[in-house]
Structure 1
Amino acid sequence: MSKKISQLTKVIHHLNSKDGDRDFDMQSMAGEYESEIEQILRDAADRVNAFKQQLETKREDNRIQEVVKELQAQHDAARQEALAQFEAYKQRTKDAETALHKAAEMKMNALTGQVDTVRQELQQRMAELNALKESNHSSSEAQRKALALAKRETEEAVKKGNKQFNAMLAERMGMEDDLRQQLEALQARLQTASTDNSSRAKEIGAERKQWDAQRSALVQERQQADAAWRLKVDRLLEELESEKENGARAVELAEEREQTVRQLSEHKAAMALRLDNAEASLQRKTDELSGLAKSLRAAEAQVDLLKDDLLTAQQEVQRNAQRAQRAEDTAEATHTRLEKLQATFDAEHAEWRQQHTESTSSAARQRAHLQDQLAAALAGHRTAEQRLQKCEKELATATDELAKTRESNAQLVSQLTREQSAAGDKGQQVRTLEAELSMTREQARADFAAAKAAAAAELQAKLAAAASQFERKLDEERGQHEQAQQELRQQMREAIAAAERHSIDCQARLQDTHQQAMRRLEGQHAEALGEAEQRATAAREEGQAKKQHVAELERQLRQVKQELGEMRGQKDQLEMQIREQADSASSSQQTLSNQLAAARAKQAALETQMREEAVRGAVAAKVEQYQAEMRRLKETIQEQGSAERAQMLQDFQQAQDKLNAEWATKVDNLSQLHERSSQARQAEAKAARQDLVHRHQAETEAAAQHHQAELATALEQQASEFRQALEEAVTRHKADLAAANARLQAAEQQHTQQLQATVADWTATLASTKEHAQHTQRVAATAADKRQAQACQELQRGYEAQLGRLRDDLAAAQRSVQTMQSTLADLTSAKQYVESKCATLQAKLGSKTQELQDTVGDLNMKHAAASAAAEVEHKSEVEAMAEDHEAAISALQDEMAAAAAQAASQYNQLNERFTVLSARFDARESRAEDLELIAELDATVKSQAGELRLLEERLAQMRGELLLREENYNKTFSNGGAGEKALAVDKALNAQQGVVDWMLKSSSKKKLLEEQAKNRRTTSFKAAR
């Protein structure tokens, strides 16, 4: 800088000292310095702006990452909460099932204990009964009766219990069948509902393919608008964070937020309108392509018509070629016949010459004999010559006709060739048109494919994210719904199966218990009967032993009595007293024993009856109690099962209703969107249809006019060409006939001359041989007469045969002439046919023109009616769309208001969370690595601050230097010379003041930078932790 200043000072001194080219040098130097100053300032501003843009980009990226992390955390929290709720529901269901199993097991254990208690009481009663039976030895019959009665009563009780159990079992089975039927009905309803849901899902999936393409673009635009809104909200949040101490900006921020919401809604509506316009343009392009396809099809139809006309012309040319071929075949046959006639004539002429030679030789030998017949021979010769001349004339005529026929055939062939070449040219034109049409079709298809591919690519690019997101959501919701349904079904099936297993187990246990009790009762009854019989037998044996003992005692008593009777004499009084005492004692003893036995029997019977009645009552009471417990258990199980089933069905119905409501809401929203988009598309389609109808009418009229003009031109051209060809053919045929006649006359004259020369030769020969004939006439007069007669006869026969052949040839020539005349008549008829065909085509052209005019009139009328109907429908649709648009705008405003409220609440939550986290962060304990990192960051900040200070000082020096240069320049060039440029110092000082101030940094910006550096250190510290 000092060097430049010194140079500038030298330059100024040199310029002041010089007066020659000072102005020029100073102006160039000033321009260079000004450009250098502007370049320096521009580079500095660009660098500063780039650095600022990078800083803002990085800050935006950090904010976006933080927002994404927060949204991901919220999504994870919501997902975890939903999973926790689902797990809690599953746990509640499992707990209820476990409680039901535990209650059932407890009741079964209680019933089992009661059964065991009843069994023990029964065993005790049976023991008591056995004891009573053992104590009642003397009353066996009563015991048997009592036992039989007890057995009958027990059997009756067992039968009654079995009947009651069977009735209860039948009732239970009926109830189970009813419950099973109800369960099957519920399952059928559930299956029907699931089928309906699946069919509805399929229908929605089928419809989704239709309106996904429409919705995805809107969703993408909405996502873009939401992203822009989020960015704006983030910016607003940043402004709130940076200016949160300023409470006065709250109202302005709210207004800006509302304005942003309005702008977003307007932007969203504009995006929707742009989307609709894009779809309308796409539809218009599609309609234009369809119109081009229709015009291509019309051109193809026109080409097909031209092909049909060309095919008709080719068929006509083929018929003419066939006729020419037939004429050529006839000419060839005529030529063949003429060749045959010529060969026959040559053979006959050679034969005649030979005969003439022979006759001449014979005439030379018989000259005298032939002189009388010379005149006749000459007359016959003349006749033969005349016939020969006539045959030659006919031959010449036939030859001329053959030549004419060949020439006409050649002309026809050339005409056919020209017509084929013309047809080939037309075919080439048609092929050219077809090639152009195919090229146009391929180009249109390529354009259509390109447009379609571009539109499809754009739509695919727009729809990919939204469609995938919607499909993921739909699949997740469907999966959750199906999973919930499957879990509910599984839980219902498990609960029902558990209840059925529990009821079957209870029934089996009850049946087993009943059977075991019956078996035990029967066994105990049989054991009691056996023991009673054994005891009765023992009692009988004991009675017999007692009777034997009594008998033994009576025998001993009798022995004592006998001994006392022996001592009666001595002690009569004593014996009488003893007898009286013994009789009285025995009678009293017997009476007492009988009374005691009867009392004991009555007491035993009463006790047995009472005990049996008590046992029966206890058994009946226990059975009734057991049955009542069973009924209560059954009712409890049924109630619990029905309650659980009702609860499960209610939960399932609520979940299904909730899902159905959500689906219905989504379907209604989507159907509304689809209706709006379809209405917009219908309006665009109607407008495009009107445009297409107008274009189609114009194109139809133009095509009809063009087709009429082309058809009339083609018909006139074909008719003129055909007339010209026919006239040329007739002219050529006439010329050929004239030339053939001339050639025939010339050939006839030449042939006449040749015949005359031949006759002269023959006359000379006859004259030379006359003398020889006269000399030999006399010699061979007789033989000559005979031979002459034979020769005359042979000549007559030869002449007659030759005359017949010549007549046949003449007839053939006449037939060939008739054939040529018929060919000429055919050509004339063909000319008339072509003229009639031209007239018919002109009439058809007129009718087609009239039909086209009628069709155009009908189309105009239909178009007018369709236009009126379309206008009415368009008005109604516009009104409906306006109402829908107003409703959509109100809904969007409500949604945006709700979103703004939600954003405000989220901001408050985030602010509170940030406060809590800040408090937690401030209250954290520092670690060694954190302190080292903070030290490193502080060192980095200090080094950057030092570099920043150096840059500020350097910029301040540059600014001072520049100001000094400008001041020196203004002082030097402020004398008002011509062409001089004086700079304003104030303007120069304020020219880049904003850039220099930003580069120098104000105190508030420094504080903001320090806060940002602190935040970055905090973020890096968190990341490090």
Structure 2
Amino acid sequence: MQGLTGRYEDEITALLEETTHRMNLFKDRIHEQQECELVQDALQKLNHQHQLEREQFIERFQKYKSDCEARLAEIKRASRARVDKISDDVRKAKDAVIAKQDKAQELERELARLQESRAGSDADHEAELRRVMDESRAELERKGAVFTEEMRAARTEAEGQLKSLRDELLGQVNAAESRENDAKTELSAANDRNAQLTEELAHERESRALLQARYDKEVVALSGLRLQHSAADGEAARLRDEVARLTQANEELEKMIRDRGDEYAVKIAGFEAQNKRMTGDLRNSAEMMISKNKEIAQLEDELEQVKLSLEESEKRESSLAAELEQEKEKAAALASEGSASDELVSQVKAELDNVRRQLDETRERLQATTVSRDKFEAKAVELAEQLADSKEGQTRTDTDLATERATVAQLQAKVEQLDTELADSKAEAVDWAKKAVDLGDNITALKEKLALEREETDALRARIAQTVQTGDARASDAVKRAEALAAQVDRLGVELREAQEATAAAEERVTAIEAEKEAEIAQIRQEMDQAAKDAASAAEKAESTIEGLTEDNTALKTDLESTTARMAELQDRVSSMADSTDSQVTGLEERVQTLLAELDSKHSQLELSLAANGKADRELASLRDTVAAQDERIAEEQATVGKLRAALEEAKAARASDLEALREEMADALDEKDRVHEEKLKAALKANDASAGEWQTRVDELEEKLKMMGQAAQEAATAAKVSMNETMDQHEAAVARLEKDHRAALDKLEADLAADKEAALNRLGAEHAAGVEQVMATMRAQQEEAAAKVRGLQQVIAQAEATVESRDRDLLGLQERFDSLMQSHDALVVTLDDAKKRIAQTAADGDATLKEERVLFQQRLADELRRAQEEIEVARSEKDAEIDRLTTDMENLRYDLESRYEELLAQYESERRDFDSRPPRQEDLEAIAELEQMAAEQQQVMGRLRREIEYYKRELVNREESYNKTFSRTPNVGVIDPLGRSKPGSGSAGQLPPLNLGGKTTGGSQRIGSARRGR
């Protein structure tokens, strides 16, 4: 038993020691496992980061790939659209040329038809043409010569004035541009000085030790800069004076242009009026001839339009060729862009930027080419382009100003940074920085002023350009109209000269003495009838004038009911108008009576001349001159009546303007009174507010005193509160009193306003009633006078009618003589037949000439069409070749881009594989090996510990139960120290307590140990 006990104790001791050792190892391995988990987490993080980087790289590559594909698709789409547009333009041009050819053929057929119809109708209108030519030859020659000379003189004068005006304007524009260039030079010098100042400030930040010396240097530089800016201010003042001078010069130039434009308008109006008079004279004489000539002119105009359309098609072809050149340049730019995409992925973005810059430069070169091409246009276009260039220069100047503002802003930022750095060390540096900021503000203000002045200069130039363009347009229109009229007059003169040469012999015989007498007698009769008609029309016009005056007076009554002031002035104007009307009517009556007296005298002279047959010719000639003079006088009388009517219209307009002015003055007076009352009311309110403010100020002062008293002595708080309440009551009472005074003042003001308004209305009503009564009385008197004058005119008209009837009876005798003269006129018919033959010959010659010209025109038209067709074919072939070349270039570019894409994709795959299979670093391998070794050791230790712990747990339970059953009846067998070590014969710590077994413990222990060893 003792041997079993000792063996058991030894086993227990060894078990406890081993358990303790294994527990320590277990703790160490748990710690190592935690470290291994941390290492694994780090490896997972590295792997995750690697995956993220890989995904980002793939995403960037996909994005670049999509951008390249989108760019390629856009280039293809733009090129195809451009090619389609060019093809459509070529097709449209071809269709237009074909349509114009058809139209030209149709016009030729129409011209042939009209020529045939004209040849058939010439025979019917020869007699009418002869009469027309006889009547209008002399007048047309005279008027045509005078008008041609006037038009030539006016054209020469207009060209000289226009040339001088353009030279003067160009001189002023060049002077303004030179001054602007000087200002730009000075501004660039200021920019250089600002850049130098920025560099000096940058050098100051480099060293703290040289701060004071550099500060002194900057102070000197700032003083110089102030002087420079003062000089810049003086220059700005000079520029403002120059702008003012330019503005004044522009105003004078505009005034001169306006005056000359008015002169041109007057001359053109005179020319147009003369042209209208001449056209009216020609309309009655050559209507049939002009109608035929119009048809031919229309055909010629249509042919001219065909020519113009052909020229436009040629211009269109040239523009299409220019567009093809642009397409070539764009294709070259695209090819350069495609070749640039062969670089590495990291450089693709920079290359795309370079391609964009190249495209921008190409556009700028195209714009420069367009500008250089436009320089060969007309002078007006050159002037507009120069102004546009000056505007672009102004834009660049504004850009420079913006850059300078940015520089000044940077300078301010730097100065503020320097202030921050030197705030603790140098107070003077802070002051200097503030001065620099103020200087920058002054510079900014100066630049803004300069920008405003430049804007004003641009506006001035725009107005000058617009004025010049308007003057040029008017002058060119006047010159064109003058040229057209001169050409028309020359053509008519040529035609008349040809007709004159063809009918020279006939005219000599037709204009014989007998025909002249016959014409004079007929003209006398017509002039007598016209004189009677003119007298009747003059009477009717006088009656209509008087009726118009009556109607005007009635309308004046109606209008005067709404007027309120200035009746005296209106009455004077109406009286003056009535006096002028009376004087004009009196003059008209005197002129009518003078005309009747002259008619009587001429009638008596005519009777005397008829009695004396030998003197008939001279009397008829003198009578013709007299009738012509009477016609002129009648025309003067008609002009006088027109002037009278115009005077009446002006009087009506003046009356309407006066009434409107009176209404406006009345409204202004009422508004002024309302404004005065409103100002009084505002003043009262302001005074009320001021008094309320004074009371509020007093209340605030009392409250402050109460607070001070409360702080000084706490005991007097109750008394101060009572005093404050009393003060507030007083304030409320005062406010109530002020409000009451305010309401009373408002009521008083309203009452005064109502009283003043009522008084003004009463006064105006009284003045209006008095004025109306005066005007009515005046108008009644004028009506009575007008009625008396009308009665007198009616009597005069009755006398004139009786005189005309007597003249008609006298003209019957003249008619008998006219019949005898007509018999002698028949002898001249044979002569007219000869003239008719010559006219027919002239018409035949003209038809032959016209046919020859038509054949030549058809030949020229065919040549032009053939040349246009050839040019279109050449352009079409060139465009087809260009389209094929562009298509080929696009395919090559697409192939290159696709191959480049495949290469980049293969490169990306290779780099990705290299990244995935990249060799690790040596330190990473060593760390991973150490960590794996530590993890393996920890795993082994942990497994062994787990097994041992389970074993020892089972062993302890089993041995404790068997020991208790064997050696004791009680469950407590003593205290076991699992950390102690049991040794025979030693009582050190860690042994099991000795068992009380009658001195047999040692032998038993030895037996247990030997038995254990035997096992």
| Higher RCO (C-alpha under 8 Å, 6+ residues apart) | 2
Tell me if both proteins adopt one fold, taking TM over 0.5 as the criterion.
no
TM-score of the pair, normalised by structure 1: 0.20
Normalised by the size of structure 2, how large is the TM-score? 0.20
